[in-house]
């Protein structure tokens, strides 16, 4: 590299190493579980000294947290989707969800969260928080809290199953259907969960607070 | 135990030990992954000799297969659900799905399959087969194969997400909603995926075979 055009300062170097460490950490947490993962093995797989991993992330817990924190613009994307007109929300949410997963900067993190949540209770709490934050839309409607939570929960069931089938397990034909095909199939579901009839019980809950 | 009323013959003994081994195997495969699981550790956790595990299941692979094979009446239940009148299929499928998961003989196996599928490609193949077999209903309709697979796939996305939220991760309020509340919310989704409008693309696929 020519000295006059340095392309890798210490900052870049840190970015490259951190990305490599987090990639190995995600693979290990997903495959071997939290208990089965060691900072030493992650460091070895990433080709760095374990001390560097501790320097960057503090502890195995800190490493797990960093490896499964969605990039900032992941949630920004979702917030943006909620700006769509009410009648288009189903479609916009499906499109944003698919594009988030197809963004190479987001996909490994999202996949790791779902894989690790299968066996790590702490990750489920994080997942719950992400779902909760992703569902600010219904909060802006004048809904009682129980109804808002019921609608958000139903939306989450559909999106999570779609994410598993299409991106984590890659089961056909869901894995290779086009965005437009998935929108045609799934957007009406999301739209109904948002503002359609989901049964009297949710309304009753909202009214009675039960 | 009185000699005249033996309640535990060798057959019962085998059943008890097998259940204990499979329970430990499920926990280990789910938490530590396939690579991180050893027959020796499973045997120790189950309080039996490793030789007995090999005697029953042949190998670690055989143990994984046994630990994640749904009980025979799990699929029988699903077949029965498909006998409902066309217009009630959505509701019947949701009810059977929930009851299968709430059956203590089925729940640990179903949960293990979903947890292990997160990181074991072989388990995804098994999951694909189970989904395929669970979806015989659309096969009985006069649908082209691509449309049948698209509809089955959409149904699977909804049921898998529901299973994760309610039974694997236990995220509220989905975890504690009543059967009737979930039927009111989700049955119309399943019914539409079965025989409603899921967009022109699936039909076009069916027509062109593309």
Does the beta carbon of B159 lie under 8 angstroms from any beta carbon of chain A? yes
CATH number at residue B37: 1.10.10.60
pLDDT value, residue B209: 41
- Are B106 and B187 part of one and the same domain? yes
Say which residue, A186 or A199, is predicted with more confidence: A186
Does the beta carbon of B173 lie under 8 angstroms from any beta carbon of chain A? yes
Say which residue, A196 or A200, is predicted with more confidence: A196
pLDDT value, residue A208: 44
Q: Domain range holding B52?
A: 10-67
Q: Tell me the C-alpha distance between A39 and A60, whole Å.
A: 6
pLDDT tens string B137-154: 655 666 778 888 899 899
pLDDT value, residue A206: 45
CB A198 within 8 A of CB B184: yes
Chain B residues closer than 8 Å to A174 by CB:
153-154, 156-157
Residue B138 neighbours by CB distance under 10 Å: 19
Q: Per the CB < 8 Å rule, is A173 touching B201?
A: no
The length of chain A in residues reads 210
Is B4 within the bounds of a domain?
no
> What is the per-residue DSSP string for B173-193?
TTTT--HHHHHHHHHHHHHHH
- Are A62 and A76 part of one and the same domain? no
- Are B110 and B178 part of one and the same domain? yes
Read off the pLDDT of each residue in A105-129 and give the average, rounded to a whole number: 83
Residue B17 neighbours by CB distance under 10 Å: 16
pLDDT value, residue B81: 84
Helix (H/G/I), strand (E/B), else coil: A39: helix
- Are B98 and B61 part of one and the same domain? no
Handedness of CA A67, A71, A75, A77 (dihedral sign): negative
- Are B174 and B123 part of one and the same domain? yes
Is A5 within the bounds of a domain?
no
- Are B60 and B113 part of one and the same domain? no
Does the beta carbon of B193 lie under 8 angstroms from any beta carbon of chain A? yes
Distances (CA, A) of B16 to A8, B58, B191: 62, 18, 41
- Are A151 and A133 part of one and the same domain? yes
Is A4 within the bounds of a domain?
no
Residue B194, H or E segment: helix B179-195
Helix (H/G/I), strand (E/B), else coil: B107: helix
Residue A47, H or E segment: none
Is A157 within the bounds of a domain?
yes
Does the beta carbon of A170 lie under 8 angstroms from any beta carbon of chain B? yes
pLDDT value, residue A163: 94
Asked if residue A81 has pLDDT above 70, the reply is: yes
Average pLDDT, chain A: 84
Structure tokens given for A205 = 């809950």
- Of A21-25, A104-108, A201-205, B14-18, least confident by mean pLDDT is A201-205
Helices B60-67 and B10-32: crossing angle in degrees, nearest 10, is: 100
Helices A10-32 and A39-46: crossing angle in degrees, nearest 10, is: 120
CB B110 within 8 A of CB A106: no
Report which DSSP code applies to A118: T
Chain B residues closer than 8 Å to A146 by CB:
173
Which of 120-149 (A) contact B at CB < 8 A? 124, 127-128, 131, 146, 149
CB A165 within 8 A of CB A108: no
- Are B177 and B89 part of one and the same domain? yes
Looking at A27, A44, A67, which one is the last position of a domain? A67
pLDDT tens string A128-166: 888 877 776 655 666 777 888 899 899 999 999 999 999
Is B1 within the bounds of a domain?
no
Chain B residues closer than 8 Å to A171 by CB:
124, 127-128, 131, 153, 156
Structure tokens given for B126 = 């098994």
pLDDT value, residue B192: 95
- Are A133 and A54 part of one and the same domain? no
Residues of chain B with pLDDT under 50: 1-8, 206-210
Asked if residue A180 has pLDDT above 90, the reply is: yes
- Angular region, A37: left φ>0, alpha ψ -120 to 50, beta rest: beta
- Are B92 and B172 part of one and the same domain? yes
Radius of gyration of chain A (CA): 20
pLDDT value, residue B141: 64
CATH number at residue B90: 1.10.357.10
Q: Tell me the C-alpha distance between A113 and A16, whole Å.
A: 21
Looking at B28, B49, B67, which one is the last position of a domain? B67
Is B3 within the bounds of a domain?
no
- Are B156 and B61 part of one and the same domain? no
- Are B132 and B63 part of one and the same domain? no
Is A155 within the bounds of a domain?
yes
> Min CA distance, A115 vs chain B (Å)?
5
Does the beta carbon of B108 lie under 8 angstroms from any beta carbon of chain A? no
Q: Report the percent of chain A where pLDDT is more than 90.
A: 45
Is A52 within the bounds of a domain?
yes
Complex ipTM value? 0.84
pLDDT bin (cut points 50, 70, 90) of residue A123 is: confident
- Tokens 């009630």: give the residue: B88
Q: Tell me the C-alpha distance between A24 and A209, whole Å.
A: 46
Report which DSSP code applies to A69: P
Number of domains in chain A: 2
Looking at B67, B82, B116, which one is the last position of a domain? B67
Asked if residue A40 has pLDDT above 80, the reply is: yes
């Amino acid at each position: 590299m020519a000295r006059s055009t340095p392309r890798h300062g210490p900052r870049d170097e840190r970015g490259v190493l951190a990305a490599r460490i987090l990639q190995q950490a995600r693979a290990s947490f997903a495959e071997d579980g939290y208990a089965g993962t060691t900072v030493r093995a992650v460091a070895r797989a990433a080709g760095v000294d374990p001390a560097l991993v501790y320097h960057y992330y503090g502890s195995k817990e800190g490493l797990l947290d960093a490896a499964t924190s969605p990039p900032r613009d992941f949630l920004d994307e979702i917030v943006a989707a909620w700006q769509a007109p009410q009648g288009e929300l189903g479609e916009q949410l499906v499109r944003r969800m698919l594009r988030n997963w197809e963004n190479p900067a987001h996909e490994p993190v999202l996949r790791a969260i779902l894989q690790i949540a299968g066996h790590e209770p702490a990750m489920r709490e994080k997942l719950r928080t992400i779902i909760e934050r992703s569902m600010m839309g219904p909060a802006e409607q004048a809904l009682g809290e129980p109804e808002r939570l019921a609608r958000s929960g139903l939306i989450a069931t559909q999106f999570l199953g779609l994410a598993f089938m299409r991106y984590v397990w890659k089961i056909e034909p869901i894995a290779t259907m086009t965005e437009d095909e998935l929108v045609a199939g799934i957007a009406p579901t999301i739209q109904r969960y948002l503002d359609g009839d989901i049964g009297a019980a949710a309304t009753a809950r909202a009214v009675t607070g039960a």
